[in-house]
Amino acid sequence: MNIYFYTPEFYSGGTKMIYRHVEILSRNNVAAFVLHTRKGFKNSGFQHTTPIRYWNDTRLTDEDIIVIPEYMAIWMNREINPIGIKSFLKRKFSKNRYRYHAYEAIHSPARKVIYNQNPFYTFFDYPAMPHTYTLPYHLPDCLGAVCVSQNNLEYLQLAFPNLFLNRIYYSIDSAKFIPANKKKQIAYLTFKNQKDVTQVINLLTIRGNLHGYELVPVQGTEDEVAKHFNEAAIMLNFGNVEGFGLPPAEAMLSGCVVIGYHGEAGKEFMLPEYCFPISNGDIISFVKTAEAVIHQLHENENAFSEMNQKARMFIEREYSREREVDSVVSAWNKFIDLARAVRP
């Protein structure tokens, strides 16, 4: 039995975690592979030794499991017109081969597991009205789903109370995300919730209360993001609908004072004793809190040292490599047992 994770060909936190998930399984004697459509593609946004297979060299059988991202799960149901999802995939991934082979993969003989890294995509492209579609999570060849946070778990339990569901834990590299000599910098991601980013950054700029702190937009590879977080004194988080929310957790590990939205999933680690959570969309509180933190750091650069240290210890403990490995191996042993027990 082989397990194939159908994976997009760009760098993101979710893609990084798929690679890591497969790497963990492979090291624990499970025949798992990232499945790409572009021959020879390997993601260069992070370091890995992940086993990879390519679509044209792979034949999916009813002995295999294909792991499908949550935003593509709607394609598992032939009753639903996939035009909307095709349009989405065209915009997001641009390569036709990815979305067309995705449809083929989903309708292959292999059993399916949905890898739900963001519950807010669960009903992507469904009508906002009552309907009688059979949901992909209820189809007979769907073994169940994997999720990545407590909020993710509770959402799917609410939606699908009889679904076979396993929560895994992410880990964050505490040797890579580690406080360096802090600079008067405020890091923020440019690609999440841009409307709120624009408002907060412009308000902070025009009000003139930055006390010499530089606003630094962050994007790039994992190493580049880590460098920014390790050097920044403050991180502003704008992710408002997250399956987990890696960036604020990484920033907390890097010793940043984190201010911003928990994105629902971040409620489990963006606690007020470790950071400054802001209610989603509360731009006024966001700006006022950021200015208050900047002012305190301007008066005393060690004002939040104790909070930052406690935050780092919390992230190291709750999202350790050992916990990640145990959760991933345990979850997939359960799916393998189920697949063997329920023959196609």
Q: Could you tell me the pTM of the whole model? A: 0.89
**pLDDT for position 80:** 60
For residue 100, what pLDDT band results from cuts at 50, 70 and 90? low
pLDDT at 301 over 50: yes
For residue 226, what pLDDT band results from cuts at 50, 70 and 90? very high
Chain centre to alpha carbon of residue 95 = 22
**pLDDT for position 324:** 97
CATH of domain 183-318: 3.40.50.2000
**pLDDT for position 84:** 52
For residue 98, what pLDDT band results from cuts at 50, 70 and 90? low
**pLDDT for position 93:** 47
Q: Which residue has the tokens 């977080």?
A: 229
Tokens, residue 261: 């939205």
* Contact assessment for residue 246 and residue 225, using Cβ atoms and an 8 Å cutoff: no
**pLDDT for position 318:** 97
CATH match of 3-171+321-341 with 3.40.50: yes
CB atoms within 10 A of CB 55: 20
Q: What are phi and psi of 220, to 5 degrees?
A: 125, -160
Distances (CA, A) of 335 to 34, 51, 70, 227: 17, 20, 17, 38
Name the residue with higher pLDDT: 88 or 76.
76
For residue 127, what pLDDT band results from cuts at 50, 70 and 90? confident
**pLDDT for position 78:** 61
Percentage with pLDDT > 90 across the chain: 71
Region 178-207: what's the mean pLDDT? 95
pLDDT at 16 over 80: yes
The lowest-confidence range among 51-55, 78-82, 105-109 is: 78-82
Name the residue with higher pLDDT: 131 or 14.
14
**pLDDT for position 151:** 96
Q: Kindly report the average pLDDT of the chain as a whole number.
A: 90
The DSSP code sequence of 173-210 is: -TTTS---S-EEEEEEESSSSHHHHHHHHHHHHHHT--
* Contact assessment for residue 245 and residue 262, using Cβ atoms and an 8 Å cutoff: yes
Handedness of CA 48, 49, 50, 52 (dihedral sign): positive
For residue 101, what pLDDT band results from cuts at 50, 70 and 90? confident
Name the residue with higher pLDDT: 95 or 2.
2
* Contact assessment for residue 240 and residue 233, using Cβ atoms and an 8 Å cutoff: no
pLDDT at 83 over 60: no
Start-end ranges of CATH 3.40.50.2000 in the chain?
183-318
Query: Which three-class secondary structure state does DSSP give residue 280?
Result: coil
Name the residue with higher pLDDT: 251 or 46.
251
For residue 136, what pLDDT band results from cuts at 50, 70 and 90? confident
pLDDT at 223 over 80: yes
Sheet with strand 276-277: strands edge to edge: 214-218, 183-189, 232-237, 257-260, 276-277
**pLDDT for position 71:** 81
Any bridge partners for residue 69, and if so which?
A: 115
- What is the rounded distance in angstroms from the CA atom of residue 241 to the CA atom of residue 263? 5
Q: Which residue has the tokens 């979850």?
A: 331
* Contact assessment for residue 4 and residue 66, using Cβ atoms and an 8 Å cutoff: yes
